[in-house]
């Protein structure tokens, strides 16, 4: 019994107003004289008898169910793992087991396939006080009701694991198909929309079976001038049955009573059954938004476009599917008053692309400063290392002077140093080299005095240092440095 049943009659004496709902769906067509006259209600599982529909449904559900799922919350604008026990309970169930009989992967696969086949998928969230203890799929569809106070109530007839009763919105997960009915409330079955293709697919498979059973290698008819009695007809029928089946294909058959064989000229090629199956598959793929290559129809695929097609499938089909399920489970938390938490699938595995593009994206993120090395290693399932949490900061950017149009590089006090020598007050390898150069120049000055030849020598010695300062964007004046050396030596 739902939580609402324990208090509902005392709070709302007026019955809720039924809005929509019901256990059956429309999807199989009824024909009369070769024309479709109506769609008949039936069990949604009949849709899976069609190879095309079954392949498309599995192509979506299997990769979606394999994705990691998390429950996050926002703190100060930063995404972190949800810390409340209710959110942690839901996160654990979505990652491990929905209930003792169903893993999380099986649950997501059931939900996605049921949503497409029936139009709506419902699951019950079992609460024990403030804790979430299990998630149970509903085999039927509850009636959606509205209370006089404007709330939503789900009235369910019950099944093997869910008792009959009324359930609050925080107890029901409701996922709809991409197409909504005219009232904007219930999802529409994609199997219903693909009913014509489903019927044709099943018909063709049955036709194949009958052709093989009846002997598709004998496309013709028999003629005789003799009178055929009942015994002769039974004998002829037995002769035909002995030659049917795959094992007897191509076997020579001999008939008595003057039988003459006439070929119909209608072969398997004329039936174009393979082309019909391809057309049915393509139509079903369009309805379920699945590229043909994802159901192993590679007739139009090439080596160069198959990977891009997989990325398009992830972006345009799986991402919206994940978003619908994320919001449905997030509504459980929101309706329970946990408004800053939400459910999210990890889609990095589906959208990672080829290796080269992925590495190039990491490189851009690393050098732009919004990824640190450990972030990248985590995305590649590699352990972090000490120091890998540090971010790189771009330092090679410059502004352009609007007046002159020249690049202006920012300089710090440490870069400018003191005086014209460009010395770094904090010291360093560059300063040590500079001091050695100045010592050599001072020694030459003491030996030969100040002259033009001396100044040429000093310029040659200091030029490598001047080039290094230019590359490091350190202000340095080589002539001022030489004048300072001469002044210090008393010349």
Helix/strand/coil (H/E/C) assignment for every residue in 428-486:
CHHHHHHHHHHHHHHHHHHHHCCCHHHHHHHHHHHHHHHHHHHHCCCCCCHHHHHHHHH
Of the two residues 84 and 269, the one the predictor is more confident about is 84
Give the pLDDT confidence score for residue 320 in this predicted structure: 92
- pLDDT tier, 208 (very low <50, low <70, confident <90, very high otherwise): low
Share above pLDDT 70 across residues of the chain, in percent, rounded to a whole number: 70
Element (H, E) at 282: helix 273-288
Share above pLDDT 90 across residues of the chain, in percent, rounded to a whole number: 26
- pLDDT tier, 199 (very low <50, low <70, confident <90, very high otherwise): low
Question: Does the structure show a pLDDT above 50 at 361?
Answer: yes
Alpha helices in 250-347 (DSSP H): 268-271, 273-288, 306-313, 319-335
Q: CB burial class (10 A; 0-12, 13-18, 19+) of residue 190?
A: buried
Once rounded to an integer, what is the mean pLDDT over residues 337-352? 85
- Is residue 396 within 8 Å of 369, Cβ to Cβ? no
Helix (H, G, I), strand (E, B) or coil at 263: strand
Distance CA 164, CA 162 (A): 7
Q: pLDDT averaged over the chain? A: 77
- pLDDT tier, 447 (very low <50, low <70, confident <90, very high otherwise): confident
Place of tokens 């476009």: 305
Q: Note the pLDDT tens digit of each residue in 26-53.
A: 334 444 454 443 334 344 555 566 778 8
> Among 69-73, 296-300, 351-355, whose mean pLDDT is lowest?
351-355
- Is residue 56 within 8 Å of 295, Cβ to Cβ? yes
Give the pLDDT confidence score for residue 99 in this predicted structure: 96
Of the two residues 269 and 488, the one the predictor is more confident about is 488
Give the pLDDT confidence score for residue 12 in this predicted structure: 42
Q: CB burial class (10 A; 0-12, 13-18, 19+) of residue 418?
A: exposed
Length of the chain: 491
Q: In terms of pTM, does the model score above 0.95?
A: no
Supply 267's token pair.
């072969």
- pLDDT tier, 399 (very low <50, low <70, confident <90, very high otherwise): low
Once rounded to an integer, what is the mean pLDDT over residues 365-388? 85
Give the pLDDT confidence score for residue 33 in this predicted structure: 52
- pLDDT tier, 391 (very low <50, low <70, confident <90, very high otherwise): confident
- pLDDT tier, 415 (very low <50, low <70, confident <90, very high otherwise): very low
In this structure, the number of other CB atoms found within 10 A of the CB of residue 408 comes to 10
Question: Does the structure show a pLDDT above 70 at 109?
Answer: yes
CA torsion through residues 154, 155, 159, 161, sign: positive
- pLDDT tier, 100 (very low <50, low <70, confident <90, very high otherwise): very high
- Is residue 434 within 8 Å of 485, Cβ to Cβ? no
Q: SS3 sequence, 199-242?
A: HHHHHHHHHHHHHHHHCCCCCEEEECCCCCCHHHHHHHHHHHHH
- Between the alpha carbon of residue 233 and those of residues 115, 214, 220, 244, the distances in Å are 53, 17, 17, 17
Q: Which of 113-117, 202-206, 223-227, 381-385 has the highest mean pLDDT?
A: 113-117
First to last CA, the chain: 104
Q: Note the pLDDT tens digit of each residue in 146-188.
A: 888 878 899 999 999 999 999 999 999 999 999 998 888 899 8
Supply 360's token pair.
């190039």
Of the two residues 250 and 275, the one the predictor is more confident about is 275
Give the pLDDT confidence score for residue 427 in this predicted structure: 46
């Amino acid at each position: 019994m739902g939580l609402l049943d324990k208090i509902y009659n005392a709070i709302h004496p007026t019955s809720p107003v039924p809005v929509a709902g019901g256990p059956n769906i429309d999807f199989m067509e009824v024909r009369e004289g070769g024309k479709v006259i109506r769609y008949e209600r039936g069990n949604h599982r009949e849709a899976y008898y069609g190879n095309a529909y079954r392949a498309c449904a599995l192509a979506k559900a299997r990769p979606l169910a394999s994705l990691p799922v998390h429950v996050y919350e926002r703190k100060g604008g930063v995404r972190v793992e949800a810390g409340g026990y209710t959110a942690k309970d839901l996160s654990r169930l979505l990652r491990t087991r929905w209930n003792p009989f169903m893993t999380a992967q099986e649950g997501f696969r059931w939900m996605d396939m049921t949503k497409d086949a029936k139009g709506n998928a419902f699951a019950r969230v079992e609460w024990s006080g403030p804790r979430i203890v299990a998630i149970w799929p509903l085999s039927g569809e509850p009636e959606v009701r509205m209370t006089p106070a404007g709330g939503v109530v789900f009235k369910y007839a019950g099944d093997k694991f869910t008792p009959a009763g009324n359930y609050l919105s925080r107890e029901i997960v409701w996922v709809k198909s991409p197409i909504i009915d005219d009232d904007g409330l219930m999802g529409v079955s994609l199997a219903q929309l693909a009913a014509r293709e489903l019927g044709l697919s099943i018909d063709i498979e049955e036709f194949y079976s009958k052709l093989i059973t009846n002997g598709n290698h004998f496309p013709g008819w028999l003629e005789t001038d003799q009178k055929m009695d009942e015994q002769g007809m039974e004998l002829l029928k037995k002769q035909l049955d002995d030659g049917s089946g795959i094992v007897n294909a191509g076997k020579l058959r001999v008939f008595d009573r003057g039988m003459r064989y006439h070929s119909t000229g209608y072969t398997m090629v004329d039936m174009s059954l393979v082309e019909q199956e391809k057309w049915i598959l393509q139509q079903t793929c369009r309805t379920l938004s699945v590229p043909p290559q994802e159901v192993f129809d590679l007739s139009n695929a090439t080596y160069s476009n198959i990977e891009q097609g997989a990325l398009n499938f992830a972006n345009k089909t799986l991402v919206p599917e994940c978003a619908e399920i994320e919001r449905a489970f997030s509504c459980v938390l929101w309706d329970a008053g946990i408004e800053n938490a939400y459910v999210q699938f990890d889609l990095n595995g589906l959208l990672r692309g080829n290796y080269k593009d992925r590495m190039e994206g990491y490189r851009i993120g690393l050098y732009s400063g919004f990824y640190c090395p450990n972030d990248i290693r985590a995305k590649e399932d590699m352990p972090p290392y000490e120091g890998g949490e540090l971010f790189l900061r771009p330092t090679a950017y410059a502004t352009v002077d609007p007046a002159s149009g020249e690049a202006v590089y920012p300089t710090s006090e440490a870069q400018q140093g003191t005086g014209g020598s460009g010395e770094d007050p904090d010291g360093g390898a560059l300063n040590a080299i500079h001091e050695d150069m100045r010592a050599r120049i001072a020694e030459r000055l003491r030996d030969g005095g100040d002259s033009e030849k001396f100044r040429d020598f000093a310029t040659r010695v200091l030029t490598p240092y001047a080039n290094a300062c230019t590359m490091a964007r350190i202000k340095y004046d080589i002539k001022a440095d030489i004048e300072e050396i001469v002044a210090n030596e008393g010349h």
